[in-house]
Amino acid sequence: MEAAMEDDVKDDHNHNYCGSGSSKVQMSDLTTVPPPACPAAVSGGEPKSRQGRLWSGGSVGSRFMDSDTGSESSEVSEADLTLTAAANTEGKLCLGSSSKFLLNAMAVEDYRKNHWPNLEEAIDRLLFQNPSDHTSVSYAQIYGYIYKCVCQQHSELLYSDLTSKITDRLLLVSSQLQCCPAENLIENFNVALTQYTASLECIVPVFIYLNKFYIESKLNRDLKDDLMKLFADLVAERHLSTLMPLLIEAHSMPFHVQPSTMASVVKGLYSLRPEWAQLAPELFSGFIPQIYPPAVESELPDYADHDRKLQMELFMNGFPRGDQSRKRASEDS
């Protein structure tokens, strides 16, 4: 009698036993659903007390037992079990290497189709436009494209495309300067440098997000410095051997070239490479302060002699010394 009663109470305190017949299933006979293939901690979803259990030795399509009520749930397929397990993995998406490669490829394709073409068109409008042209460009829209590219981790690709685009244009400018006559090189070089500098005043601010979060933080450089270096390498340095003698000759003949053009070219060359001033110190000292070392008292007569020679050259070239009648009487003695 005691043995029979012992058999009747062998179920656990939650009464987890099969509802059909007298065949009882102990807790040790029940197994939980196998964890998903992706290694992630199971959290969220239903509480543990409500999670389904499988019959021991049953197939994937076996019936569930509810640990609270002991009632059987409806049959589920293997796909349903996979989705249920995936739902309990902290909401993380488990992707294989092939899936990640596909997503990356789709992201790059979206950049190539939807983002870069619009940016390329805007850069074309801003580069080397004539000062008289009024180009209509939506800076807010361009900034929006750049912001998306950086947020989608296309910073390196965007920076590469930007520099490649500007490199192609600078190579074209360099070839055009190569074909122009020598007497027009100073003026044409000034136009190219002025237009390029003006275009950077528009391009650099609109790419500020790329500059801050990629070029400055990862490359430890500055976008404007990089783009000015491109002009120095691809344009200025290639024509320096021809341009410098022309500038020295023009400086020796006052007003042979417009003073504003001379000042713009010399200051531009100095901003690109300050060391170029050592190639013609006298030329650069006429437009850039402190090219020569500080003056000393023993060299004052030499400076005065240099000024007298300069005044004489100006006088010989038709520039009067001015009205001397208004000089004070004490200055005549």
CA atoms within 13 A on the CB side of 263: 7
* pTM of the predicted model over 0.85: no
| Domain residue limits, the chain | 1-94, 158-306
Closest by Cα among 163, 161, 130 to 229: 163
Closest by Cα among 183, 115, 185 to 150: 115
Is-contact 169 136, C-beta < 8 A?
A: no
Is-contact 209 152, C-beta < 8 A?
A: no
Closest by Cα among 136, 266, 301, 122 to 189: 266
Q: pLDDT tens string for the chain (333 positions)?
A: 445 444 444 444 444 444 444 444 444 444 444 444 444 443 444 444 434 444 444 444 443 344 444 444 444 444 444 434 444 444 444 445 555 555 566 588 889 998 899 999 889 888 866 655 656 778 888 999 999 999 988 999 999 999 999 999 999 999 999 999 999 999 999 999 999 999 999 999 999 999 999 999 999 999 999 999 999 999 999 999 999 999 999 988 878 899 999 999 999 999 999 999 999 999 999 899 888 877 778 888 888 888 888 888 877 877 776 655 555 555 554
User: Across the beta sheet with 31-32, what order do the strands follow?
Assistant: 31-32, 53-54, 64-65
Q: Which helix (H) or strand (E) covers residue 327, if one does?
A: none
